[in-house]
Amino acid sequence: MSELQAGERGNGYDDVPGRAPAVTRADVLAAAGRAKSACDAIAAASSAVKDAALKAMAAALRSRSAEVLAANGADVAAARAAGTAEALVDRLALSAARIEAMAAGLEHLADLPDPIGTVARGSVLPNGLELRQVRVPLGVVAIIYEARPNVTADAAGIALKAGNAVLLRGSGSAHASNSVIVDVLREAAASAGLPADAIVLVPGTDRSSVTHLMTARGLVDVIIPRGGAGLIRAVVEGSTVPVIETGVGNCHVYVDASADIPMALDILINSKTRRPSVCNAAENLLVHKDIAREFVPLATAALAAQGVMIHAEPRFAELAGPGSTVPATDEDFDTEYLALDIAAAVVDGLDAAIGHVKRHGTGHTEAIVTGDLAAAREFTGRIDAAAVMVNASTAFTDGGEFGFGAEIGISTQKLHARGPMGLPELTSTKYIVTGTGQVRPVA
Amino acid sequence: MSELQAGERGNGYDDVPGRAPAVTRADVLAAAGRAKSACDAIAAASSAVKDAALKAMAAALRSRSAEVLAANGADVAAARAAGTAEALVDRLALSAARIEAMAAGLEHLADLPDPIGTVARGSVLPNGLELRQVRVPLGVVAIIYEARPNVTADAAGIALKAGNAVLLRGSGSAHASNSVIVDVLREAAASAGLPADAIVLVPGTDRSSVTHLMTARGLVDVIIPRGGAGLIRAVVEGSTVPVIETGVGNCHVYVDASADIPMALDILINSKTRRPSVCNAAENLLVHKDIAREFVPLATAALAAQGVMIHAEPRFAELAGPGSTVPATDEDFDTEYLALDIAAAVVDGLDAAIGHVKRHGTGHTEAIVTGDLAAAREFTGRIDAAAVMVNASTAFTDGGEFGFGAEIGISTQKLHARGPMGLPELTSTKYIVTGTGQVRPVA
């Protein structure tokens, strides 16, 4: 269930021409209205019913896997026929193993504690009123995502576990796959006693369906765009529905003067190369000048051994040696490569490193490798990001790794949720105040 | 400090012609940029420094009260000259007592615990990584509000205590007052070692300055509009900066069949008449048919004694008796009167009452008066609002009453904060992960 957010860049959320029917605003609003109408029932459903539904959804995916694979085969064939790159086709393609992983993810959700109804805070006020702040569902959660059809099941499951109805707006390239998966999930949810409309596929796969969705105020409670920077910007700028921004990760690894060099090399290589296409991958290396002479040649060799192209500023390039790097342009330090490329620079010290991160970072994940307690404290205090790592890989920014059990994405905004979002981040709260006839003095 | 949100309806956030200079987008962005530049220093400031600043701000308001009153006198004179209604002039007008209340509010903030740096959750992960989610400031908080100039000090104080820089966009009618108050606060903050730009008055008092502010993405982290429905809708629909919606309170009191009648009368009268102009005031009365014959005449008399006009549906009107009510129109049940008016209906039972609230409520505060545990449970479970009261006045929805010590407003949205917003609601979080060289397996 982890890294749902990952690497779905560049494959677009736009229509693949001819792959799905055009829709009107009324169609999208009708779909949103169906999800809205299911809210009360899913919000009121007991944990037992929700968990039974998740298990039924898992079982149905397994028993109807042939249907899912057939629809996915059509999507894959159409993508290949349209000349789609194989890397993107791989994201689109399902297999028996991928369907099993989707089913297992749903069963895992059933085993997690239910956030709904838990008391976030509570007290008895001086006048005897009993105050409780309890977790309630958000309502209708809309998720816009790109090619990978496994997100359809993952997102539906986590939204349902948190008592929400979900509107799923996948990619046009996965339309046949998503249609079948949603059909399977809806039927299974209904068999467990939940309204089928707790899970609704948004019709339409062109931009207008996103526009209609993000302006469906009153029908949609929150919208979570997951994908490339263009999609996220379009939703943030055009939405009248509250948005949780999941975002771009222009992540840095800063190697301090006091770093343990083998540790720094491990963290650098893991951060950069473990999965280059995901948002928690490192895109920048900063090296303290006092350790640069020793570290830069070792880092250059280690990166080269993994096939990483280094875009180096002059001081780094000089220490790396001729021919081992390419010159960094102004844009390189602002580029989320999501590939085997890294921008690298030597900096004068901790303060310069922090300043560099503040200028170029996107508030996702920033790491320092250091043996110096004061440096660690200053870096973690001054860097304003969803996650700040000390002597650990940037790859750990992940709901699964953080122990949340499930993740709907990684928020890079400051409001509501920041960092990996698990079940509690898909909830709101309400205050319940119980009295014995108290009235408020006129003051 | 409570009820900051209250009753600033209808006086507008628009320019009073000729009262303030026109500004350009560049002017507004420059102001936002100054606040942004102060963020790091205010975020890093210790509790001791912030509290000293709050006390210095209080002292300065007292020592420079003559200046504040003189500027306010000019605003009041201009408002009267423009024919402004006396109720609005009263909101605009300061007095020695009101300035003392502003100063005392700032000192009270200094006594509250600092939310910044508190650990929201923390654990040691199986791989030995130490995970902490710590509270950090939001950054730059912009507040748009209407006439009352005391909000200027209250909002600046609470934002500063939570480590934020604040952009204040008050009403044109209070421009002279706000200018002097902000000048006083900035000078005092600076005297305590904080950047003066932690508190910035947004130039301009026409709508375009709001437009520039709400599209200052990257410079403003959150925008909180406080005021009439028109302002809030304009910001929600036009903002590209995240918004916390404070809102309209179309609040209901539902008197169940099992209600204690004297208690129900007390709660009804307190909810409706304690301060009719505030958002937690009741605007609707629903009465279970089984208690209506006894309760409606008593309620009608009690409301009449307070000068409340009852807009009644036919069943209520019949029980109230001829001449004691006016007929309710379709709009009455959707109207936030903020005045001595109430819409009233007899309903067939709990289910009908909940349905009515769902159709007409705005998710602010809903109250049930009942002696029946099952009815209380069903009402609190099914009503989706920021606050649900059982046998208590709607007037208790307030940060001060909830024990938060301070309040910046009452959120009626589900994201980030819902209900009264205190200091924690003006913060975000970040994850700090401390390791010993951990890297993540490729999986």
Chain A residue numbers touching B414 (CB-CB < 8 A)? 138-139, 221-222, 242, 428
Q: Read out DSSP for A204-228?
A: --SHHHHHHHHT-BTTBSEEEE-S-
The strand order across the sheet containing A199-201 reads A199-201, A165-169, A140-144, A222-225
Chain A residue numbers touching B237 (CB-CB < 8 A)? 240
pLDDT tens digits for range B122-132: 999 999 999 99
Q: Which of A380, A382, A393 has its CB closest to that of B440?
A: A393
Chain B residue numbers touching A402 (CB-CB < 8 A)? 125, 131, 431
Question: Is B390 within 8 Å of A243 when comparing Cβ atoms?
Answer: no
- DSSP lists the bridge partners of residue B137 as B427
| Amino acid at residue number A28 | V
For B194, half-sphere exposure in the C-beta direction (CA atoms, 13 angstrom radius) is 38
Question: Is A125 within 8 Å of B401 when comparing Cβ atoms?
Answer: yes
Question: Is B391 within 8 Å of A236 when comparing Cβ atoms?
Answer: no
Chain B residue numbers touching A42 (CB-CB < 8 A)? none
pLDDT tens digits for range A291-319: 999 999 999 999 999 999 999 999 999 99
Tell which of B430, B436, B442 to mutate to test the A interface (max A CBs under 10 Å).
B430
**Once rounded to an integer, what is the mean pLDDT over residues A323-347?**
95
Q: How many H-runs (helices) and E-runs (strands) does chain A carry?
A: 14, 16
- B433: closest chain A residue by CA: A389
Q: Which of A139, A382, A391 has its CB closest to that of B435?
A: A391
For A206, half-sphere exposure in the C-beta direction (CA atoms, 13 angstrom radius) is 10
Tell which of A236, A277, A431 to mutate to test the B interface (max B CBs under 10 Å).
A431
Residue of A153, A169, A179 whose CA lies nearest to A205: A169
pLDDT tens digits for range A167-223: 999 999 999 999 999 999 999 999 999 999 999 999 988 888 999 999 999 899 999
Q: Which of B387, B390, B431 has its CB closest to that of A386?
A: B431
Q: What's the confidence (pLDDT) of residue A204?
A: 85
Instruction: Grade residue A124 by pLDDT with cuts at 50, 70 and 90.
Output: very high
Helix (H) or strand (E) holding A199: strand A199-201
How far is residue B10's CA from residue B235's CA, in Å, rounded to a whole number?
Answer: 16
Strand pairing report for B199-201 and B130-137: unpaired
For A174, half-sphere exposure in the C-beta direction (CA atoms, 13 angstrom radius) is 31
Q: What's the confidence (pLDDT) of residue B7?
A: 37
Q: How far is B146 from chain A (nearest CA, A)?
A: 23
Q: Which of A267, A270, A431 has its CB closest to that of B386?
A: A431
- DSSP lists the bridge partners of residue B222 as B141
Question: Is A430 within 8 Å of B437 when comparing Cβ atoms?
Answer: no
Q: How far is B19 from chain A (nearest CA, A)?
A: 32
Instruction: Grade residue A9 by pLDDT with cuts at 50, 70 and 90.
Output: very low
pLDDT tens digits for range A47-81: 999 999 999 999 999 999 999 999 999 999 999 99
Residue A230 has pLDDT above 90, yes or no: no
Q: How many CB atoms lie within 10 A of CB A331?
A: 9
Q: How far is B364 from chain A (nearest CA, A)?
A: 10
Q: What's the confidence (pLDDT) of residue A20?
A: 53
Q: Which of A138, A236, A433 has its CB closest to that of B387?
A: A433
Residue A17 has pLDDT above 70, yes or no: no
Count how many pairs of residues, chain A against chain B, have C-beta atoms within 8 Å: 203
Chain B residue numbers touching A138 (CB-CB < 8 A)? 414-415
Q: How far is A133 from chain B (nearest CA, A)?
A: 9
Answer for the pair B400, B377: CB distance below 8 angstroms, yes or no.
Answer: no
How far is residue A350's CA from residue B413's CA, in Å, rounded to a whole number?
Answer: 41
Question: Is B396 within 8 Å of A440 when comparing Cβ atoms?
Answer: yes
Q: What's the confidence (pLDDT) of residue A21?
A: 59
Chain A residue numbers touching B397 (CB-CB < 8 A)? 431, 433
Question: Is A393 within 8 Å of B438 when comparing Cβ atoms?
Answer: yes
pLDDT tens digits for range B91-116: 899 999 999 999 999 999 999 999 99
pLDDT tens digits for range A353-405: 999 999 999 999 999 999 999 999 999 999 999 999 999 999 999 999 999 98
Q: List C-alpha distances in Å: B326 to A198, A395, A432, B322.
A: 42, 66, 33, 9
Answer for the pair A156, A145: CB distance below 8 angstroms, yes or no.
Answer: no
Q: What's the confidence (pLDDT) of residue B23?
A: 85
Q: Which of B44, B414, B430 has its CB closest to that of A387?
A: B430
Of the listed ranges A34-43, A312-321, B4-13, the one predicted with least confidence: B4-13
